[in-house]
Structure 1
Amino acid sequence: MKNRINGKSFDVRIMGFKIHFESFNISIEDNSTVATNNGRPNGVLLGDISASGELVVDTANFMLITAAAKAAGSFQELPTFPIDAYAGGGNARGVELMHVHAHECNMKVSDLLSIDPSSSDKTTHKIDFDVTGQDFVYINGVPYAKTTELDLA
């Protein structure tokens, strides 16, 4: 029997680098709502969508991101980049695979330092990001956003 997917299963790539994260999350906000007629449900109204997240890295991995920012000229000049999170596992029922691809992410350093002199934990750095690409987020190869909504002009 293979291992099931957990936080240790994931490889995350950012700007083409495999980065070790202390924590990583991505959240989707979908403002679709129920249409109503005379107070009764009558279909769905598609709303705007957005995705954002945060990653926490140790100093060694933050230095990889710093090197990319230096090559770009500054953190604000970093081009948008994809984030890919992969994991594989399985059990008696079969193989478990998870791949989340967030298109054109824009990074913002949020908590540069959080120092506790009484702690022996690693120093960490928090980076927020927003998904800015029209392709938005793919989950296991399936787009989250309705593909007919894309403006391909």
Structure 2
Amino acid sequence: MSKISGRDIDTMIGSYRINIEEASLSIEDGTGTTKTRGVPDGFIEGDVSASGEIKLNTGQFQIIVEAAKEAGSFRGLPTFDLVFNAETTDESINVEAFDCKLSLSDVLSANQSNERLMHTIKYEVTGREFVNINGVPYLRSEEIERLN
């Protein structure tokens, strides 16, 4: 049985295909329990946010540098959709994060070992479509339908 590993993940940042060393996406969901007289009696949905980071070697980081050059600066980069896709004969996963705003975190991470030079880029999900996992949206359609 063929399982998915980190090496199976293909990553797209907008129209750029990037080979990542590491990637993460975390969702913060502010849904909380309601209580009456200290006893749980339901829940209230709260705010949601999502963010993550990608770690790239220098060759792959240069793709982002070129995109920033086209935009005039790193802060001038437009938002990008991030798509993480992996598939084996037995498993598959597709995670989409919409309108992600990139920001440089660790511009340079070097040490005395023979490991490759690494660069870390953080991102915040800013799109109302938010996150889809295998085509299933995290948010209900009625949560976003009246947003401008």
Percent same amino acid at aligned positions? Answer: 41
Q: Normalising by the residue count of structure 2, what TM-score does the alignment of the two structures yield?
A: 0.94
Give distance in 2, aligned partners of 1:56 and 1:103: 19
Aligned to 1:130: 124
What is the one-letter code of the residue matched to 2:126? T
Aligned to 2:140: 146
Asked if 1:120 is matched to 2:119, the reply is: no
Aligned to 1:34: 33
Give distance in 1, aligned partners of 2:118 and 2:92: 29
What is the one-letter code of the residue matched to 2:26? S
Give distance in 2, aligned partners of 1:18 and 1:64: 9
Q: Provide the aligned C-alpha RMSD in A.
A: 1.2
Aligned to 2:14: 15
CA deviation string 1:33-82 (max 9, x = no partner): 11112222211200101000011000100000000010011000100010
Q: Normalising by the residue count of structure 1, what TM-score does the alignment of the two structures yield?
A: 0.91
| Structural mapping, 1:1-153, within 5 Å | 1=1, 3-90=2-89, 95-116=90-111, 118-150=112-144, 151-153=146-148
Give distance in 1, aligned partners of 2:142 and 2:37: 30
What is the one-letter code of the residue matched to 1:103? F
Q: How many residue pairs were aligned?
A: 147
What's the secondary structure of 2:12's corresponding residue?
Answer: strand
Question: Structure 2 regions of 5+ residues with no counterpart?
Answer: none
